Chains A and B, each alone.
Chain A
Amino acid sequence: QKEVEQNSGPLSVPEGAIASLNCTYSDRGSQSFFWYRQYSGKSPELIMFIYSNGDKEDGRFTAQLNKASQYVSLLIRDSQPSDSATYLCAVNGGGSYIPTFGRGTSLIVHP
């Protein structure tokens, strides 16, 4: 059973701060890692994907992958109230192209 774990939150940060969202996974064979953002009542939106160990930056977002420790994180710099949403971690690989989703972490950015 492949598992992807996320703290459900809510994670509350002040506007302008760095929000750090974490995700751990059980399948060591996992190869692809994704972060989605989901606003209430809407469908998930792909934010970033990462395949290699290390950091990947895109604007205010940085994905960090550590395969040895089996975790992937998402940092959001200069958090804005519009970043308030649920962030889903998804993991592919180990012989399957079907992603396994975590339950999501609720982020609240307060002014």
Chain B
Amino acid sequence: GAVVSQHPSRVICKSGTSVKIECRSLDFQATTMFWYRQFPKQSLMLMATSNEGSKATYEQGVEKDKFLINHASLTLSTLTVTSAHPEDSSFYICSAHPQGVTDTQYFGPGTRLTVL
């Protein structure tokens, strides 16, 4: 149980394009989903917290107009990197907090984004 999927697993795009990453909880409903970014050999950096049906809460320094988050249902959240640039190249990981379960979260497999 507690499986979280992400799609795509890897994406390469040209500078200036937008990329959408999907995060799905496959066997549970997620009250809250988190989006993280991780650069090589660095720790996880929380970008934003999204709750189903409401606006995402962004961490300080994260541009909400650049990283659009939509949490339309209890099993799906999307992150769109708009007008991507090479410095946005990173490993993006989502995690989901099961509804009704004490604060445990489960991570998706991550999406490796490379912007040329």
Contacts and interface: CB of A to CB of B under 8 A. Distances in A.
A89 to B, nearest CB: 11
A44 B43 contact: no
Interface string A9-41: 000000000000000000000001010100001
Interface string B35-47: 0000000111010
A98 B93 contact: no
A98 B46 contact: yes
A98 B34 CA distance: 9
B106 interface: yes
A101 B108 CA distance: 16
A45 interface: yes
B106 A97 contact: no
Nearest to B4: A43
Contacts of A93: 103
Interface residues of B, number: 20
For the residues of A in contact with B, the DSSP-based class is strand
A43 B110 contact: yes
B108 A46 contact: no
Contacts of A92: 103
Interface residues on A, range: 20 to 34
A103 B43 contact: yes
A98 B42 CA distance: 19
A49 interface: yes
Interface of B: 32, 34, 42-44, 46, 49, 91, 93, 97, 102-110, 112
Interface of A: 32, 34, 36, 41-46, 49, 51, 88, 92-93, 97-99, 101-104
Given A41-B91, A51-B102, 18 more contacts: A36-B107, A42-B109, A42-B110, A43-B93, A43-B108, A43-B110, A44-B44, A44-B107, A46-B105, A88-B44, A97-B32, A97-B97, A98-B34, A98-B49, A99-B103, A101-B43, A101-B44, A103-B42
